[in-house]
Amino acid sequence: MAEDWKNGGFGLYVHWPFCQAKCPYCDFNSHVAREIDETVWIRAYLSEIERVAGETPDRLLNSIFFGGGTPSLMHPDTVAAVIEAARLHWTFANDIEITLEANPGSAEAGRFLGYRDAGVNRVSMGFQAMNDADLKRLGRIHSVNDALSAFDVARSCFDRVSFDLIYARQDQTLQAWESELEKALNLSVDHLSLYQLTVEDGTAFGDRYAAGKLRGLPDDDRAADMYLLTQDICDSYDMPAYEISNHARLGTESRHNLIYWKYGDYAGIGPGAHGRLTLNGKRFATECPKLPAAWIERTSAGNGESVRTQVSPSEQSEEYIMMGLRLAEGLDIDRYTQLSGKPLPNDKLIYLQDLGMVSLSGATMKATRKGQPVLNAIIRELLAD
């Protein structure tokens, strides 16, 4: 606990698994349901908070994140109940960050005040695109105008507002992306998540792609150009990337996500939620069943978790590299060595430096701008047996 700061602190992730409609590209654990009895969900979340807090009684909570799915479909009272329970069981940090993911529709905007009153102090909105034609192609049910008005409401309710865009879309030119991105940067936003479209197996896009029917996606070279252009533009707007896909003005980085990337501890509750917990000096990975009904059933039997496995120090060292190298500030090589029991192979470090992929100063290793777009290859090289 004394070292919490180093690991980015301790956070609580709350998964809300429902959406109004399933987006064709999305492989998050989200389901479309006709009727949701939120009292059942409140009961489940509260019992999970009580259970996890029982194991981590005296930790300082730095962040709560309502993710989904579409948490902005939750009733503000549900959100309030969860936050209250967390406050009861843990000590809140003075500057606790409480984020809620929101879809930018008008109905959601109507609940923003309620969320604020419940204690939410940051929203992250899924804009995805800044033109209606592409929103349609992405299967989104909101328009650019919907998003902009929702954004205004959000701005008036919360100090901190972020939104997500998906780029490297079908038939998207560099110029088109540039103008979309600038439009976004000109809104008074302090944080942006900019994700290149990933075609995931098991989604509608995945099937279409396999059938050769998802055309016009950029090849790797063009996707790399788009990535680099994104970095340049955001830099010029004072919104540098602090992580591969996340940009913020200095000091407004998402603290919750930093916990992941600094490989700190987090409890994960809700269907499909993952956690990493240090208990009695050992590190555990936790997982909950993905199906909402299965999770609810487990919680009513007293424990929503379906998997708890110990993460060995050497596995931790690998996870630390995979998470930490995503950060612009890099990672601490000594922490890796401590976990894995052996230093990173020197020949590989020299090799990767010679290629200009990573830079080292003192005990800090970072992926360079050249290395960031090929981070998986760097990690493969570093962690190859």
Partner 1 sequence: MTDLAHIRNFSIVAHIDHGKSTLADRLIQETGTVKERDMQAQLLDSMDIERERGITIKANTVRIDYTADNGETYVLNLIDTPGHVDFAYEVSRSMRAVEGSLLVVDSSQGVEAQTLANVYHAMEADHEIVPVLNKIDLPASDCDRVAEQIEDVIGIDASGAIQVSAKTGQGIHETLEAIVHELPAPTGTRDAPLKAMLVDSWYDSYLGVIVLVRIMDGVLKKGERIKMLSNGSVHHVDRIGVFRPEMQVIDELGPGEIGFLTASIKQVRDTRVGDTITHEKKGTTDALPGFKPAQPVVFCGLFPVDSAEFEDLRDAIEKLALNDASFSYEMETSAALGFGFRCGFLGLLHLEVIRDRIEREYDIELITTAPSVVYHIYMRDGTMTELHNPADMPDLTHVDHLEEPRIKATILVPDEYLGDVLKLCQDRRGLQMDLTYAGSRAMAVYDLPLNEVVFDFYDRLKSVTKGYASFDYQMTGYREDNLVKMSVLVNDEPVDALSMMVHRDRAEARGRAMVEKLKDLIPRHMFKIPIQAAIGGKVIARETLSAMRKDVTAKCYGGDATRKRKLLDKQKKGKKKMRQFGKVDIPQEAFISALKMDS
Ligand X SMILES: C[S@@+](CC[C@H](N)C(=O)[O-])C[C@H]1O[C@@H](n2cnc3c(N)ncnc32)[C@H](O)[C@@H]1O
Of the candidates 198, 310, 338, 364, which one interacts with partner 1 according to CB under 8 A?
198
Using CB under 6 A, which residues numbered 139 to 168 contact ligand X? Answer: 164, 166
Minimum distance, C-beta of residue 202 to ligand SF4, in the bound complex (Å)? 13
- Restricted to residues 55-74, the positions that interact with ligand X (CB under 6 A) are 67-68, 70
How many Cβ atoms from other residues are within 10 Å of residue 154's Cβ? 25
Cis previous bond, 69, omega within 30 = yes
Does 268 engage in binding with ligand X (CB under 6 A)? no
- Is 177 a binding residue for partner 1 by CB under 8 A? The answer is no
* Kind plus residue range of the DSSP H or E element containing 12: strand 10-16
Give least dist CB 166 to ligand X, A: 5
> In this structure, are residues 356 and 371 in contact, taking their beta carbons and an 8 Å threshold?
yes
> Are the C-beta atoms of residues 196 and 169 closer than 8 Å to each other?
no
Is position 203 an interface residue for ligand SF4 (rule: CB under 6 A)?
A: no
Interface residue with ligand SF4 among 8, 10, 16, 19 (CB under 6 A) is: 19
197 is an interface residue for ligand X by CB under 6 A? yes
**Choosing among ligand X, ligand SF4, partner 1, none, which partner's interface includes residue 15 (Cβ < 5 to 8 Å by kind)?**
partner 1
Question: From the CB of 103, what's the least distance to ligand X, in Å?
Answer: 5
Task: Determine which residue in the list 178, 207, 315, 332 makes contact with partner 1, applying CB under 8 A.
Answer: 315
Beta strand spans in 42-139 (E): 60-68, 91-102, 122-128
Q: Could you tell me which of 149, 62, 64, 138 has the C-alpha nearest to residue 101?
A: 64
Residue 199 binds to partner 1 (criterion: CB under 8 A) = no
- Binds partner 1 (CB under 8 A): choice among 132, 152, 178, 319: 319
Which of the choices partner 1, ligand SF4, ligand X, none does residue 378 contact, using the CB cut-off of 5 to 8 A by kind?
Answer: partner 1
CA distance 196 to 185: 17
**Between the CA of residue 366 and those of 223, 236, 247, 248, 329, what are the distances in Å?**
22, 21, 17, 18, 7
Does residue 152 bind partner 1 (CB under 8 A)?
no
Closest CA to 283 of 303, 262, 309: 309
From residue 116, alpha-carbon distances to 12, 155, 277 in Å are: 18, 11, 29
Beta pairing class for 122-128 and 91-102: parallel
Give whichever of 63 and 252 is closer to partner 1, judged by the CB atom. 63
Told to check if 70 binds partner 1 by CB under 8 A, we report no
> According to CB under 6 A, which one of 26, 61, 259, 331 is a site residue for ligand SF4?
26
Q: In what order do the strands lie in the sheet with 91-102?
A: 241-243, 246-248, 191-196, 160-167, 122-128, 91-102, 60-68, 10-16, 265-269, 274-279, 282-287, 307-310
Please list the residues that pair with 126 across neighbouring strands. 164
x/- map, 328-347, ligand X, by CB under 6 A: --------------------
Neighbours of 104 (CB within 10 A): 27
What mask, x for binding partner 1 by CB under 8 A, covers residues 229 to 268?
A: --------------xxx-----------x-xxx-x--x-x
- CA 312, CA 137: separation in Å to the nearest integer? 43
d(Cα 322, Cα 339) in Å, to the nearest integer?
A: 14
Instruction: Kindly list the residues in this chain that would bind partner 1 in the complex (CB under 8 A).
Output: 13, 15, 28, 65, 67, 195-198, 220-221, 223-224, 227, 243-245, 257, 259-261, 263, 266, 268, 273-276, 285, 287, 315, 318-319, 322-323, 326, 351, 355, 357, 372-381, 383-385
Instruction: Kindly list the residues in this chain that would bind ligand X in the complex (CB under 6 A).
Output: 19, 25-26, 28, 67-68, 70, 101, 103, 126, 128, 164, 166, 195, 197-198, 200
